Amino acid sequence: MLKENLNRVVRQGWVNFKRNSWLAFGTVGIMVLALLIFVGLVAFNVVSQITVSALEEKVDVTAYLNDDVSNDQAFQIVRELENMPEVSFVNYVSKEEALEEFRERHKGEELVQQALEELGDNPLQASLEIKAVKTAQYANLVSFIENSNFRNLIDKIDFYENEIVINRIQKISSGLRMGGILVTLLLSLIAVLVTFNTIRLTIYSQKQEIEIMRLVGASNWHIRGPFVIEGAIYGLIAGLVVLIIFYPVVLIASPKIQTFIPSVNLTSYFSNFFGQMLFLVIGLGMAIGIISSFVAVRRYLKI
Amino acid sequence: MIIFDKVIKDYNGNTNYRALDEISLEIKDGEFVSIIGPSGAGKSTFIKMLIREEAPTGGRVLIDNLNVAELEDGQIPVLRRKIGTIFQDFKLLSNKTAHENVAFALEVIGMSRKQIESDVPKVLRIVGMEDRAVNFPHQLSGGEKQRIAIARALIHRPKILLADEPTGNLDMLNTFDVIKLLTKINEFGTTVILASHNREVVNAVGKRVVTLDRGKIVKDQEQGKYSI
């Protein structure tokens, strides 16, 4: 009985979809536009997210240690810093490593190499490269170091020179995030409302049919079932169309975006998340279709 | 048994004009009752009360001791499945074929697909529409639509058959076919309530006649004739 009902509902939903093809075409079209806006926003958020994290990746502070600090003392500081929740990563660069790096960087520059030879002594300082979990935490981190018991082992911290850049990056990234969320919410709301209204109009055109079904003695679920299935079919088709449009566009646009922002590779990002995108877009389309139909039919079930 | 107990119906709270004005009557199981009267007398409202398309403003409408006005939303479809209705404007589902329209009445009562496929052609044959089964309502003439509407009202063998001007769009020949059909159904034990303002139809039936005028019962005769 249940299986037979389910069969009937699905079959009837599909038949309605085919018979209403002209109307269905319009509704699916609107849903495609709405979902395109949505995936466009997802792509925009991905690009800005990756850009922001690439920028943040570049930010760190370096604390230069006094020459008389031993390796043991340095590791002691490293451990203490690593215990702080704000710190994501500390890298200790000893005097020797610093010199090695310096030499490497100025390979082939005779003058620099000669100057080093002439000095005889290692003029570079050991240092700690510290990365915070969030860009906003650098100021706190630095003031913690300033007040710590190992402050006298530290010669200087380069935060102050970088402070303005760090602040600016932080402002841009939080602005982008907030803006992204706001725009996404607003446009998604518009997309959902437009879709909902389109489906409502589609069902309004069948208002009389629904009332007749009621008068002949159909239960609410008997009437509603096929409409809900029809809504789900709208969502399914719209979702598929959107993915068919979206992926080629990503393929074409990705190299162009990459020339501006090298760290952003949309093609690989969206192929890694293909399953999730499929689920998200089709799921969203079907959910909107089902809920809109459900709500819209209810209005005419009162008779 | 159908009982109308001081039933009042106003539309939109208009108490100056009552569609039904304190109507009381009893219809026994298996009776054939013709409700007659001029346009606006309250015939259609009378029919609408029985399937709860409209709720009474006052009084009670009882079908087998069930107060129709007090039915919960989920119970209304159960009531309607016991009743077959031929509507004045047919009320066919425009995006379903003739066959599907008739089948719908059986789907609603939860009949199996197999049973539906065997019953629908038989009933379409009875109303002479077996050749039009695949056509949609807009491809049918007024009389043909009416016959599909009749087939839908009969197919689930309802206890009560309501017919609101069922011959309004038919020529004389078809009209008498319909009347014969209704009489036949009544002979099998179904209560038939026929609302009509067609003199020939009512006189041909020759059963109980209730005359309505301005929402009141002005005459109730066991073997009535159309006389206004």
Is B17 among the domain residues?
A: no
Shared domain for B111 and B150, answered yes or no, is yes
Is B141 among the domain residues?
A: yes
Looking at residue B148, its amino acid is: I
Cβ–Cβ below 8 Å for A215 and B107: no
Cα-based angle A197, A23, A293 (whole degrees, multiple of 5): 45
How far is Cα B120 from Cα B98, in angstroms, rounded to an integer?
Answer: 10
Q: pTM score, two decimals?
A: 0.72
**Cα A281 to chain center, whole Å?**
15
Band (pLDDT 50/70/90 cuts) for residue A161 is low
Query: What's the structural domain count of chain B?
Result: 2
The contact set of B with A (CB < 8 A) is: 51, 53, 73-74, 76-81, 83, 85, 87, 91-95, 104-105, 107-110, 112-113, 152
Residue A135 scores a pLDDT above 80 = no
**DSSP string computed for B201-224:** HHHHH-SEEEEEETTEEEEEETT-
Identify the closest residue of chain B to A19 by CA–CA distance: B95
Specify the pLDDT at position A120: 74
How far is Cα B163 from Cα B84, in angstroms, rounded to an integer?
Answer: 8
Band (pLDDT 50/70/90 cuts) for residue B138 is very high
Shared domain for B166 and B188, answered yes or no, is yes
Cβ–Cβ below 8 Å for A216 and B113: no
Is B182 among the domain residues?
A: yes
Shared domain for B123 and B188, answered yes or no, is no
C-alpha distances (whole Å) from A62 to each of A89, A91, A139, A140, A145 are 12, 9, 13, 14, 11
Cβ–Cβ below 8 Å for B104 and A20: no
Write out chain B residues lying below 8 Å of A219, CB-based.
74, 77, 108
Band (pLDDT 50/70/90 cuts) for residue B137 is very high
What residue segments make up the domains of chain A, in order of their start?
2-55+170-301, 59-169
The partner residue sitting opposite B95, judged by closest CB among A7, A209, A214, is A209
Residue B199 scores a pLDDT above 90 = no
Answer whether A69's CB lies under 8 Å from A292's CB. no
- Per-residue model confidence as pLDDT tens digits over A98-124: 888 888 888 878 888 788 778 777 778
The partner residue sitting opposite B91, judged by closest CB among A5, A206, A212, is A212
Residue A218 scores a pLDDT above 80 = yes
Residue B85 scores a pLDDT above 90 = yes
Cβ–Cβ below 8 Å for A303 and B53: yes
Identify the closest residue of chain B to A5 by CA–CA distance: B110
Looking up residue B35, the CATH number of its domain turns out to be 3.40.50.300
Is B207 among the domain residues?
A: yes
Residue B226 scores a pLDDT above 80 = no
Grouping H, G, I as helix, E, B as strand and the rest as coil, residue B111 is coil
Give the H/E segment covering residue B3: strand B2-10
Shared domain for B78 and B169, answered yes or no, is yes
Chain A closest-CA separation from residue B105 CA (Å): 7
Chain B closest-CA separation from residue A297 CA (Å): 15
Shared domain for B166 and B227, answered yes or no, is yes
The partner residue sitting opposite B107, judged by closest CB among A8, A208, A215, is A8
Specify the pLDDT at position B149: 92
Instruction: For residue B53, give every residue at least 6 positions away whose Cβ sits within 8 Å of its Cβ, in sequence order, or none.
Output: A215, A303
Looking at residue A199, its amino acid is: I
Write out chain A residues lying below 8 Å of B50, CB-based.
none
Shared domain for B188 and B77, answered yes or no, is yes
Chain B closest-CA separation from residue A213 CA (Å): 8
Cβ–Cβ below 8 Å for B85 and A215: yes
ipTM: 0.87
How far is Cα B227 from Cα B213, in angstroms, rounded to an integer?
Answer: 12
Specify the pLDDT at position A1: 67
Average pLDDT over residues B172-189: 85
Cβ–Cβ below 8 Å for B104 and A213: yes
Mutate to test the interface with A, among B47, B63, B73, B91 (most CBs of A within 10 A): B91
- pLDDT above 70: percentage of residues in chain B: 98
Band (pLDDT 50/70/90 cuts) for residue B160 is very high
Which range scores top for mean pLDDT: A119-128, A234-243, B177-186? A234-243
Out of B120, B141, B157, pick the residue that ends a domain.
B157
- pLDDT above 70: percentage of residues in chain A: 99
Is B2 among the domain residues?
A: no
The contact set of A with B (CB < 8 A) is: 1, 4-5, 7-8, 16, 19-20, 206, 208-209, 212-220, 222, 303
Shared domain for B42 and B128, answered yes or no, is no
Is B87 among the domain residues?
A: no
Instruction: For residue B36, give every residue at least 6 positions away whose Cβ sits within 8 Å of its Cβ, in sequence order, or none.
Output: B43, B195, B196, B197, B202, B209, B210, B211, B212, B226, B228
State the pairing for strand pair B191-196/B32-36.
parallel
Shared domain for B134 and B99, answered yes or no, is yes
How far is Cα B41 from Cα B19, in angstroms, rounded to an integer?
Answer: 7
- Per-residue model confidence as pLDDT tens digits over A177-210: 788 788 878 887 887 888 788 888 888 888 888 9
Is B62 among the domain residues?
A: no
**DSSP string computed for B48-95:** HHHTTSS--SEEEEEETTEEGGG--GGGHHHHHHTEEEE-TT----TT
C-alpha distances (whole Å) from B217 to each of B21, B24, B166 are 9, 8, 22
Residue A261 scores a pLDDT above 70 = yes
- Per-residue model confidence as pLDDT tens digits over A269-298: 888 888 888 999 999 899 988 998 898 888
Q: Which CATH number describes the domain made up of A59-169?
A: 3.30.70.3040
Is B7 among the domain residues?
A: no
Specify the pLDDT at position B136: 95
Cβ–Cβ below 8 Å for A216 and B104: yes
Mean pLDDT of chain B: 89
Residue B9 scores a pLDDT above 80 = yes
Identify the closest residue of chain B to A220 by CA–CA distance: B74
Shared domain for B171 and B226, answered yes or no, is yes
Q: Which domain holds residue B210?
A: 28-55+67-82+158-228
The partner residue sitting opposite B113, judged by closest CB among A4, A212, A222, is A4
Shared domain for B102 and B153, answered yes or no, is yes
Residue B32 scores a pLDDT above 90 = yes
Label residue A120 left, alpha or beta by phi (over 0 means left) and psi (-120 to 50 means alpha).
Answer: left
Write out chain A residues lying below 8 Å of B81, CB-based.
217
State the pairing for strand pair B2-10/B58-63.
antiparallel
Shared domain for B146 and B170, answered yes or no, is no
Mean pLDDT of chain A: 84
Chain B closest-CA separation from residue A256 CA (Å): 50
Give me the total of CB pairs closer than 8 Å, taking one residue from chain A and one from chain B: 60
Mutate to test the interface with B, among A22, A215, A300 (most CBs of B within 10 A): A215
